[in-house]
Structure 1
Amino acid sequence: MLFWSRYISSNLWEPIASFFSTKVILTAVAVYLSFVRILRWRRYRAIHEKYGQKFKSATLTPQDAQEIVAESLLYDMPALMNYALSFALYKTFAIPSISKILSDTKQFSSAERISRRFVDTGILISTWLFCPISGKTRSATDSSCHMRTHVCAQRETEDPRAIIALARVNWLHSKYPIKNDDYLYTLGLFIFEPQKWARLYGWRVLSPMEAHAFHLFWNEIGAKMGIIDIPENATEFKQWIAEYEARAMLPARTNHEIATCTTEELLHSLPNAFGIKTFIRRLTICALEDNVRNAMMQPEQPLYLYHFFRLFLRTIAFIH
Structure 2
Amino acid sequence: MESAFDGQAALSRAEAIYRDVAFTEFSEDLAFGLNIGFYRTFAVPEIAQLLASTGRMTGQTELRAKATGQMMYQLFRHGLDSEQGSETVAALNRIHFRWSISNDAFLYVLACFDVAPMRWCDAYAWRSSTPAEKDASHILYLGLARRMGIRHVPPTWGEFAHWMDRYEQSRFAATPEAAELWGATRGLLANRFPAALGPLVRTAADALLDEPLRHACGASRAPAAIRSLVSSGMRLRARRVRRSHQNPQLAHIAT
Q: What TM-score range do you get, normalising by the shorter chain?
A: 0.7 to 0.9
Structure 2 counterpart of 1:297, one-letter code = G
Shift of residue 268, structure 1, vs aligned partner: 2.1
Aligned to 1:134: 81
Residue 248 (str. 1) matches residue 171 (str. 2): yes
Q: CA deviation at 1:272?
A: 2.5
Match of 2:162 in 1: 239
User: Which SS does the other structure have where 1:61 is aligned?
Assistant: helix
Distance 2:29 2:157 in 1: 22
Task: Tell me whether 1:125 sits opposite 2:72 in the alignment.
Answer: yes
Find 1:317's aligned residue among 238, 248, 251. 238
Q: Aligned to 2:133, which of 210, 231, 250?
A: 210
Does residue 257 (structure 1) correspond to residue 180 (structure 2)? The answer is yes
Match of 1:303 among 221, 224, 228: 224
> C-alpha displacement at 1:114, in angstroms?
1.8
The verdict on how the C-alpha distance between 1:69 and 1:304 changes in structure 2, with shifts beyond 3 A counting, is: same
Larger helix percent: 2
Letter paired with 1:263? R
4+ long deviations beyond 6 Å = none
Distance in structure 2 (CA, Å) of the matches to 1:63 and 1:244: 30
Structure 2: where are the runs of 5+ without partners?
242-255
Kindly tell me: are residues 304 and 109 of structure 1, through their superposed partners in 2, closer, same or farther at Cα, counting changes over 3 Å? closer
Once residues 316 and 73 of structure 1 are traced to their aligned partners in structure 2, the CA distance between those partners, rounded to angstroms, is: 18
- CA change 1:293–1:209 in 2 (3 A) is same
Q: 3-state DSSP class of the match of 1:108?
A: helix
Residue 62 of structure 2 contacts residue 188 of structure 2 at CA under 8 Å; is this kept in 1?
yes
**Whole-angstrom CA distance in 1 between matches of 2:211 and 2:194:** 28
Match of 1:97 among 36, 41, 46: 46
The percent identity for this pair of structures is: 23
- Give the greater-gyration-radius structure (CA): 1
Deviation at 1:304, TM superposition (A): 2.5
Deviation at 1:292, TM superposition (A): 0.6
Alignment correspondent of 1:87: 36
Aligned length: 239
Q: CA RMSD in A?
A: 2.1
Counterparts of 1:199 and 1:235 in 2: how far apart (Å)?
14
Contact 2:4 2:10 in 1 (8 A): no
CA gap 1:197/1:269 in 2 versus in 1, 3 angstroms: closer
Normalising by structure 2, what TM-score? 0.87
State the Cα distance separating 1:60 from its structure 2 match: 5.9
Q: What's 1:188 paired with?
A: 111
| Unpaired stretches in structure 1, ≥5 consecutive residues | 1-53, 136-159
Give the alignment partner of residue 151 of structure 2, picking from 220, 225, 228: 228
Matching of residues 1-320 of structure 1 within 5 Å: 61-110=10-59, 113-135=60-82, 160-273=83-196, 276-320=197-241
- In 2 relative to 1, CA 128–294 (structure 1 residues): closer, same or farther, beyond 3 Å? same
Distance 2:234 2:15 in 1: 25
